[in-house]
Structure 1
Amino acid sequence: MVSPQPAKYPEIKSLMKPDPNLIWIIIMMVLTQLAAFYIVKDLDWKWVIFGAYAFGSCINHSMTLGIHEIAHNAAFGNCKAMWNRWFGMFANLPIGIPYSVSFKRYHMDHHRYLGADGVDVDIPTDFEGWFFCTAFRKFIWVILQPLFYAFRPLFINPKPITYLEVINTVAQVTFDILIYYFLGIKSLVYMLAASLLGLGLHPISGHFIAEHYMFLKGHETYSYYGPLNLLTFNVGYHNEHHDFPNIPGKSLPLVRKIAAE
């Protein structure tokens, strides 16, 4: 897909601005999960796990894509980049695992060097492609997808730790400890299970494979225009996103409408 030029479609340039609604959506999602943490603290374990998969996983997966939006400074704009970093740490809290700052660093490489070996850690390694080659092994790979996504950068393209990553980690660990202290182990397990289940074998997680699976040689990025975009900040509009990463997900359907090519 050839990227359309903003000069050809001046309307597209007007879409390159922050999405203030993103701030309130993220805040409401965090508050929703806090309420869920309180609700599950006295439930039977079977309902804790069921709630984590049926409800919490949807919120936490959606939150990771909200953090993706924040990584592109869609909340407060490029002129307030640090506000986006702090807000990303806030959005990170109900996920349970510190990653928002690191994601920002590696995700920019994904856009600059799409598919480049040793740089783009969004793409499975040669070992993953070699080992997970049967239907059963691929099934296991999908289940373990969040672990591969978390640890792949450490093996493929490790980066020096920054002070923001330290702050992100301290804030997240402190939050996790507070959840355990005030609400108990069930709330903590619900939070972590919602992230692991929601990013693994889950209907919403299909976009991880669909976005950059090379069905046709030379076509590295694909889009999805179905209803799950309502839960994922339009991440399905992936060709449009890679063409114009400065446009918030909310406006990507307009990009497709303006410049369908």
Structure 2
Amino acid sequence: MSVSHKGLSLGVDTLEAPAASEKLEKLHNFYWVSQKEPHAVRRHAILKAHPEVKKLMGHEPRTKYIVTGVVLLQCSMAFALRNTSPKSWKFWLCAYVVGATATQNIFLAIHELSHNLAFRKPWHNRLFSVFTNTPIGIPYAASFAPYHQLHHKFLGDEVYDTDIPTKFEALVLSNVLGKTFFATFQIFFYAFRPMFVTSIPMSPLHLINVAYQLTFDYFWITNFGINSFLYFLISAFLAGSLHPCSGHFIAEHYLLNMEEAIIGGKLAFKNTTAETEPVHSTEKSEITRQDVQFYEHYALETFSYYGILNFFTWNVGLHNEHHDFPFVPWSRLWELNRLCPEFYQSLPKHDSWCKVLWDFVLKDDVTLYNRVKRVNKHLTKAD
């Protein structure tokens, strides 16, 4: 039996809430923790308890066919709207309902490809990601992959995890108007933030991505006009704006309910070696920085969503499962969840991505600071 509260659902075997003395008020700094993230620990425990999970790993051959279909759908829509003004309601309705949903699917197909889950050979996945990028209109795939790999390897790290808002973003945008602006234009924050936080060297794939995309864009505009091309760009913007599917950006790692996040933090290590003795990535005594204040309790930093929108988004809602096993493709994440109920059923989860967006914008105690953060090992001391 699950219990729903403030947009999150708590499964079975819930724990008592923290003591009243625990600080649960509005955060004015990130939720700094010294504990290691639970995914590697839980992965080890799951493989020990369920060695059959290894059979779920590997590429999914159907991915390339679905991606090709979605790319063709977007190109067909753009062609059909070539004589429709971008100022018309018809254009924006098509871009929001069809275009944004399809483009979000494209974004997350590139996510699958960044884990080499469509083809056996990594280079085939990378080249196909360039093709997948086609209806976005802007070269994106080559840059996404290395940053996303860092996000998995260094979850919560203040330098390497560029999914976390910067301190400037959190300081300026942690009010209703700021959060509305952030949620509306979050696609730009995700696109440009990494360049200001952690630089990634250019690779041949970047050049291929740019050359192919510019060639396609020139061909499309020359043959079908600017209105048709604007359909791609507007769809991409709406896909990362106030759209039901874009709720996953915030749902995955924001702490929308601190009390339940702390409860979930205890449940995250259930049935693992760290259940009774936490494993730390940082020794608190080594940190001399005044901007870092560690919280005593670990707060769950990854949340899953098991609703219908997973159908359009490659099951990205099963996010705890994905972080535990990033080499299990979208088509087998439900099987992973089914095989390991003792690890997943009790974790807090989101019931609705739309409600996630609503709560993020309107709840006073939710700000851009509501993210778990870890000290980078090279930045332990004050300047």
Normalised by the shorter chain, which TM-score bucket?
Answer: over 0.9
Question: How far, CA to CA, are the matches of 1:159 and 1:34 in structure 2?
Answer: 31
Residues 1-261 of structure 1 correspond to what in structure 2 (within 5 A)? 2-3=42-43, 4-45=45-86, 46=88, 47-77=90-120, 80-214=121-255, 215=257, 216-217=261-262, 218-260=299-341, 261=343
Amino acid at match of 2:219: L
Amino acid at match of 2:106: M
Give the conservation status (yes or no) of the 8 Å contact 1:48–1:186: no
Give the conservation status (yes or no) of the 8 Å contact 1:12–1:255: yes
Q: Which has the higher helix share?
A: 1
Secondary structure at 2:311 match in 1:
helix
Question: How far, CA to CA, are the matches of 1:227 and 1:120 in structure 2?
Answer: 28
Question: How far, CA to CA, are the matches of 1:82 and 1:7 in structure 2?
Answer: 31
Question: How far, CA to CA, are the matches of 2:113 and 2:204 in structure 1?
Answer: 19
Question: How far, CA to CA, are the matches of 2:142 and 2:323 in structure 1?
Answer: 20
Question: How far, CA to CA, are the matches of 2:97 and 2:303 in structure 1?
Answer: 27
Alignment deviations for residues 206-225 of structure 1 (CA, whole Å, 9 cap, x no partner):
11001001242421100000
Q: 4+ residue stretches of structure 1 with deviation over 3 A?
A: 1-4
Following superposition, the deviation at residue 186 of structure 1 comes to: 0.6
Following superposition, the deviation at residue 33 of structure 1 comes to: 1.1
Question: How far, CA to CA, are the matches of 2:202 and 2:58 in structure 1?
Answer: 30
Question: How far, CA to CA, are the matches of 1:165 and 1:109 in structure 2?
Answer: 17
Secondary structure at 1:7 match in 2:
helix
Following superposition, the deviation at residue 44 of structure 1 comes to: 3.2
Secondary structure at 2:304 match in 1:
coil
Amino acid at match of 1:63: I
Task: Give unmatched runs, 5+ long, in structure 2.
Answer: 1-37, 263-298, 344-383
Following superposition, the deviation at residue 20 of structure 1 comes to: 0.6
Alignment deviations for residues 96-140 of structure 1 (CA, whole Å, 9 cap, x no partner):
111111111110000000010011011111111111111111001
Amino acid at match of 2:243: H
Question: How far, CA to CA, are the matches of 2:57 and 2:92 in structure 1?
Answer: 40
Question: How far, CA to CA, are the matches of 2:229 and 2:189 in structure 1?
Answer: 22
| Alignment partner, residue 381 of structure 2 | none
Amino acid at match of 1:185: I
Q: TM-score, normalised by structure 1?
A: 0.96
Question: How far, CA to CA, are the matches of 1:26 and 1:74 in structure 2?
Answer: 13
| Alignment partner, residue 27 of structure 2 | none
Q: Which moved more, 1:244-253 or 1:212-221?
A: 212-221
Q: Which moved more, 1:238-247 or 1:40-49?
A: 40-49
Identity, in percent, stands at 41
Amino acid at match of 1:247: V
Which structure is higher in RCO with an 8 Å CA cutoff and minimum separation 6?
2
Amino acid at match of 2:152: H
| Count of aligned residue pairs for this structure pair | 259
Following superposition, the deviation at residue 52 of structure 1 comes to: 1.1
Amino acid at match of 1:236: G
Amino acid at match of 1:56: G
| RMSD of equivalent CA atoms | 1.1
Q: TM-score, normalised by structure 2?
A: 0.66
Amino acid at match of 1:132: L
Asked which structure has the greater CA Rg, the reply is 2
Question: How far, CA to CA, are the matches of 1:7 and 1:25 in structure 2?
Answer: 34
Following superposition, the deviation at residue 66 of structure 1 comes to: 0.7
Task: Give unmatched runs, 5+ long, in structure 1.
Answer: none
